[in-house]
C-alpha cells in the first residue's frame, strides 16, 4: 500500500477528488496548508510599496491506495491537477505498513 | 481634578455673565432676521455632515491598519469626539470665539452660560465643535498601532482645550493672523490650516516622538509595507469623508444666502477627483499597478488642499490644486518614510503637507469674486489674478505660524507625556495587538491566530 500526499491548487481540489473517486478511492483527507516552491511566494503592494508573501495557500490531499493502482492513480491526479504553470503542486508517495478500519477491525488492503 | 474644577468655576464667575440670557427661544432673532431659518438649517445640516466625517476617519484608519489594532483605533476615534465635545463646550469655544484679548486668545462663552444661552451662539458653537473634533481625530492615524490609549485621552484633552482653539482664534476668532496688514489678512476658508494642518502636524510630532512600528524598517534600514487589513473599510471611509466634505466646505459660508455655495461644492469635488487621478497615474507609472490605497490618500489630499481656497477660486484652479495635492501625497509619504517617520495611514502627508499647500494656494489662485464669508468687499485676490504678493505673503505667515504652533506644541505635548508616563505600549503588546492588551476585546474574536512573518 502507498500513501499519496498530494499538494494541489485550491481551485483544482474538486477535480482531483472526482478523479480519485473514478479510480475507486472515494475516501480522502484534506488539509488547508501554506507553502512555497520554486515560485517563492507572491509580491503584493500596499499604498505604493511592494512586499512579499512568503507562503501561498494550497490544499494537501492524503489518500492510501493499493500498490497495483499506483501508476493509474498518479496519472489521474496529474490529469486533474495540472495547468502547466508554476505552482501546480507535487505528489509525495510513501509505503504504508498497515491500515485498520476501526469499526470492524479489518486490516491491510481489506480496510482500504 | 478638583483644582481644575475650581479654576473653571472661578472663570465662569469672573466672566460675570451668568445674569441674563440673550435669545434662548430664538423668537427675537426670527423677528429681526426672518430669513434666518434657511441659514440655520443649512449650517446645522452641513454640521451633521462634518460630524459624520468622524465615521470616515474611523473606517480609513481601521482599514489601513492591521486587524489586531481595530478595536483600539475605533475607540480612539470615538473618544476624541467625546472629549472634544465636553472640553470645547466648557472652555475651548471660549478661547476661540470669546472676546479677543490682544489678538492672542478669546475669553467668554464659558460653559455656554449667561449671554451665550442664545440660538445664534449655540449654532456657532455646534459648527465650531465639529471642526475641532475633526482636527483632533486626524492625529490618531499618524500615531496608530503603538500609542497608548491613556496617552490618547490626554492628547485629545489638550488639543481640543488649547492647541486647536487658540490657533483657530488667530484665524477665525478675530485674532492677530486675521488682522495681518498683507492682502486681506491671513485667510483659511474652511480650515486647510486651522483644522487639517494642525491635526496633521500634531500627528507628525506624535509619530516622531513614538518612533516607527516594529517591523516597519528592515535590518537594512529600508522601509517596508505593512499592509492594512481591510481596503473595503478604507474605501468606505474615504467615500464618507468625501461626502462629509460637502458639508465641511460649502457649510463654511455659514449662510445659505451666499449662493457661492454652488462654487464651493464644485471646487471641492474637482480637487478630490484631480488628487485621486494624479495619485493613481503616478503610482501606476512607478509600479505598473492600479494602487487603490494610495489613490484613496490622493483623494483626501485633494480635499484637504482645496479646503482653504474653495470659496475664492474658479473650477480650473481646483483641478490644479488637487493635482499638486496628489503629487504632494505621494512625495510626502516617501519623504517621511525615508526619514524614519512611520505614519501608518498617511495622515501627515494628506492633512499636514496638503493643509499647508491649501493655505499657499489661496495666495495664488484667489480670483477676487468673494469676500471674507461675505458678498461684500474686501475680496480675496491672489497673485495670478492681479492681487499682487500681499495675500501670498499673508498666507506664508500663516503657514509658518501653524507649522510652529501645531508641530511645536504637539512635540512638547507628546514628549512631556512620554517622559512622565510613557506613551508607547510594550513591545509584546504591539506584537500581539493593542486590542487584546489595552481593551481586552479583539475586533474579530473568531480569528484566533495572527501570523507574524516579519523576518530579516
Contact residues on chain B for A50, CB-CB shorter than 8 A: 225, 287
pLDDT exceeds cutoff 80 at B350: yes
Strand A90-95 and strand B99-101: pairing? Answer: unpaired
DSSP B424: B
- Full DSSP string of A56-96: EEEEEEEEEE-GGGHHHHHHHHHHHH--SSTT--EEEEEE-
The rounded distance, in Å, linking the Cα atoms of B367 and B362 is 9
Which of B283, B453, B455 lies closest to A48 in CB terms? B283
Residue B5 clears pLDDT 80, i.e. is over it: no
How far is Cα B264 from Cα B317, in angstroms, rounded to an integer? 12
Q: How confident is the model over B130-184, as pLDDT tens digits?
A: 999 999 999 999 999 999 999 999 999 999 999 999 999 999 999 999 999 999 9
B119-142 vs B198-210: helix crossing angle, rounded to 10: 30
| Total domains in the fold of chain A | 1
| Residues of chain A with C-beta less than 8 angstroms from the C-beta of B284 | none
The predicted pLDDT at position A38 comes to 85
What three-state secondary structure class fits B224?
coil
Q: What is the ipTM of this complex?
A: 0.75
Chain B CB within 8 Å of residue A42 CB = no
Residues of chain B contacting residue A47, judged by C-beta atoms under 8 Å apart: 64, 225, 291, 293-294, 297, 333, 346
A103 touches chain B (CB under 8 A): no
The answer to whether the Cβ–Cβ distance between B225 and A55 falls below 8 Å is: no
Nearest CB to B294 within list A47, A54, A55 = A47
- pLDDT higher than threshold 60 for residue B197: yes
User: Is residue B28 pLDDT above 80, yes or no?
Assistant: yes
Q: Which residues contact B216 (CB under 8 A, 6 or more apart)?
A: B223, B224, B226, B342
Asked if A54 has any chain B CB less than 8 Å from its own CB, the reply is yes
Indicate the helix (H) or strand (E) that contains A6: strand A2-8
pLDDT at B10 over 60: no
Q: How far apart are CA B144 and CA B292, in angstroms?
A: 20
CATH assignment at residue A69: 3.30.70.120
How far is the C-alpha of B325 from the C-alpha of B358, rounded, in Å? 8
The alpha carbon of residue B416 and the mean position of all alpha carbons in its chain are separated, in whole angstroms, by 23
- Pick from B287, B333, B453: which is nearest to A50 by CB? B287
CATH 1.10.3430.10, domain B36-439, yes or no: yes
Instruction: Spell B301-323 as b/e; 16+ CB within 10 A means b.
Output: bbbbbbbbbbbbbeeebbbbbbb
pLDDT mean over A5-30: 96
pLDDT at residue B401, rounded to an integer: 98
Residue B418 has pLDDT above 60, yes or no: yes
Percent residues over pLDDT 90 in chain B: 93
Chain B contact for A43 (CB, 8 A cutoff) = no
pLDDT in tens, B239-248: 999 999 999 9
B82-102 mean pLDDT: 97
Going by the DSSP 8-state scheme, the letter that residue A51 receives in this structure is: E
Q: Which of B141, B238, B453 has the most A C-beta neighbours within 10 Å, making it the best mutation to test the interface with A?
A: B453
Residue A34 has pLDDT above 60, yes or no: yes
Interface test with A, best of B218, B224, B225 (most A CBs within 10 A): B225
Beta-carbon separation of A45 and B225 below 8 A: yes
Q: What is the pLDDT, as a whole number, of residue A99?
A: 96
A46/B contact by beta carbon, under 8 A: yes
H or E, element range at B43 = helix B36-64
What average pLDDT does this structure show over B372-380?
96
Alpha-carbon span B190 to B172, nearest angstrom: 10
Quick one: cell of B414?
Answer: 507628546
Percent of chain B at pLDDT > 70 equals 93
pLDDT at residue A112 above 80?
A: yes
Lowest mean pLDDT among B20-34, B129-143, B144-158, B217-231: B20-34
DSSP line for B362-414: HHHH-EEEEESSSSSSPEEE-GGGT-TTHHHHHHHHHHHHHIIIIIHHHHHHH
| For residues B386-399, average pLDDT | 97
- Chain B residue closest in CA terms to A55: B453
Please give the average per-residue pLDDT across B82-111, as a whole number.
97
Using the structure block, give the residue that is written with the C-alpha cell 493502482.
Answer: A69
**A53: phi then psi, degrees, rounded to nearest 5:** -100, 110
For residue A66, the enclosing domain spans: 2-111
Smallest Cα distance from B56 to chain A, Å: 18
Considering Cα of A18, then A19, then A20, then A22, what sign does the dihedral take?
positive
Give the length of chain B.
Answer: 456
At residue B8 the predicted structure's pLDDT band, cuts being 50, 70 and 90, is low
| Residue B288 CB neighbours (<10 A) | 9
Task: Give A47-61 pLDDT, tens digit per residue.
Answer: 999 998 889 999 999
Nearest to A47 among B293, B453, B455 (CB): B293
Contacts of B334 (CB under 8 A, 6+ apart): A48
| Alpha-carbon span B187 to B173, nearest angstrom | 12
For residue B389, give the C-alpha cell: 504678493
Q: What is the predicted pLDDT for the residue at A64?
A: 97
Exposed e or buried b per residue across A18-43, where buried means at least 16 C-beta atoms within 10 angstroms of its C-beta = ebbeebebeebeeeeeeeeeeeeeee
pLDDT number for residue A39: 80
Asked if B161 contacts B155 with a C-beta cutoff of 8 angstroms, the reply is no
CA dihedral sign of residues B288, B289, B292, B293: negative
How many contacts (CB atoms, under 8 Å) link A and B? 39
The pLDDT of A36-45, averaged and rounded, is 87
Angle at B167 between CA B165 and CA B170, to 5 degrees: 110
Per residue in B27-36, is it b (16+ CB within 10 Å) or e — as a string?
eebeeeeeeb
Give the residue carrying C-alpha cell 505528489.
A91
The closest alpha carbon to B63, from B300, B293, B361, belongs to B293
Average pLDDT, integer, range B50-63: 98
Confidence of residue B16 (pLDDT cuts 50, 70, 90): very low
Q: Is the pLDDT of residue B12 over 60?
A: no
CB-CB under 8 Å, B294 with A55: no
Amino acid at each position: 500500500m502507498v500513501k499519496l500526499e498530494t499538494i494541489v491548487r485550491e481551485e483544482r481540489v474538486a477535480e482531483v477528488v472526482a478523479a480519485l473517486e473514478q479510480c475507486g478511492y472515494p475516501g480522502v483527507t484534506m488539509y488547508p496548508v501554506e507553502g512555497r516552491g520554486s515560485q517563492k511566494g507572491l509580491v503584493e503592494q500596499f499604498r505604493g510599496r511592494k512586499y512579499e508573501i512568503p507562503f501561498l495557500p494550497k490544499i494537501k490531499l492524503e489518500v492510501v491506495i493499493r500498490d497495483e493502482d499506483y501508476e493509474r492513480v498518479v496519472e489521474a491526479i496529474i490529469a486533474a491537477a495540472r495547468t502547466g504553470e508554476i505552482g501546480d503542486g507535487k505528489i509525495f508517495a510513501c509505503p504504508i505498513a498497515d491500515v485498520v478500519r476501526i469499526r470492524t477491525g479489518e486490516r491491510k488492503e481489506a480496510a482500504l | 481634578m478638583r483644582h481644575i474644577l475650581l479654576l473653571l468655576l472661578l472663570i465662569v464667575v469672573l466672566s460675570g455673565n451668568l445674569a441674563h440670557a440673550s435669545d434662548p427661544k430664538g423668537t427675537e432673532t426670527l423677528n429681526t432676521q426672518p430669513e434666518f431659518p434657511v441659514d440655520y438649517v443649512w449650517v446645522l445640516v452641513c454640521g451633521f455632515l462634518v460630524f459624520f466625517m468622524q465615521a470616515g476617519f474611523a473606517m480609513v484608519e481601521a482599514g489601513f491598519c492591521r486587524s489586531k489594532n481595530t478595536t483600539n483605533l475605533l475607540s480612539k476615534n470615538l473618544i476624541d469626539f467625546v472629549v472634544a465635545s465636553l472640553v470645547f463646550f466648557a472652555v475651548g469655544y471660549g478661547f476661540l470665539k470669546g472676546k479677543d484679548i490682544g489678538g492672542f486668545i478669546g475669553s467668554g462663552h464659558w460653559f455656554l452660560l449667561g449671554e451665550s444661552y442664545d440660538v445664534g451662539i449655540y449654532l456657532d458653537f455646534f459648527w465650531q465643535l465639529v471642526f475641532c473634533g475633526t482636527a483632533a481625530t486626524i492625529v490618531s492615524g499618524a500615531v496608530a498601532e503603538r500609542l497608548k490609549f491613556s496617552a490618547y485621552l490626554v492628547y485629545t484633552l489638550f488639543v481640543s482645550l488649547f492647541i486647536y482653539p487658540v490657533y483657530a482664534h488667530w484665524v477665525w476668532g478675530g485674532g492677530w493672523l486675521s488682522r495681518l496688514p498683507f492682502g486681506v489678512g491671513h485667510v483659511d476658508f474652511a480650515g486647510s490650516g486651522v483644522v487639517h494642518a494642525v491635526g496633521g502636524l500634531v500627528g507628525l510630532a506624535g509619530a516622531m516622538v513614538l518612533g516607527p512600528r516594529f517591523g516597519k524598517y528592515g535590518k537594512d534600514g529600508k522601509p517596508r509595507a505593512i499592509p492594512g487589513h481591510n481596503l473595503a473599510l478604507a474605501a468606505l471611509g474615504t467615500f464618507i469623508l468625501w461626502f462629509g466634505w460637502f458639508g465641511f466646505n460649502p457649510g463654511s459660508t455659514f449662510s445659505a444666502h451666499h449662493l457661492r455655495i454652488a462654487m464651493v461644492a464644485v471646487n471641492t469635488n474637482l480637487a478630490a477627483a484631480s488628487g485621486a487621478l494624479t495619485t493613481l497615474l503616478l503610482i501606476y507609472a512607478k509600479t505598473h499597478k492600479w494602487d487603490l490605497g494610495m489613490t484613496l490618500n490622493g483623494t483626501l489630499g485633494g480635499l484637504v488642499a482645496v479646503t482653504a481656497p474653495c470659496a475664492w477660486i474658479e473650477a480650473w484652479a481646483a483641478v490644479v490644486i488637487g493635482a499638486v495635492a496628489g503629487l504632494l501625497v505621494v512625495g510626502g509619504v516617501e519623504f517621511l518614510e525615508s526619514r524614519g517617520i512611520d505614519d501608518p495611514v498617511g495622515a501627515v502627508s494628506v492633512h499636514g503637507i496638503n493643509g499647508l499647500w491649501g493655505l499657499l494656494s489661496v495666495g495664488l489662485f484667489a480670483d477676487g469674486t468673494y469676500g471674507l464669508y461675505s458678498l461684500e468687499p474686501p475680496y480675496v485676490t491672489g497673485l495670478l489674478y492681479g492681487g499682487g504678493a500681499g495675500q501670498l505673503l499673508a498666507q506664508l505667515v500663516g503657514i509658518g505660524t501653524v507649522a510652529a504652533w501645531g508641530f511645536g506644541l504637539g512635540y512638547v505635548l507628546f514628549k512631556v507625556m512620554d517622559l512622565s508616563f510613557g506613551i508607547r505600549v510594550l513591545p509584546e503588546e504591539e506584537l500581539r495587538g493593542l486590542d487584546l492588551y489595552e481593551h481586552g476585546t479583539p475586533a474579530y474574536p473568531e480569528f484566533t491566530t495572527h501570523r507574524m512573518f516579519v523576518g530579516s
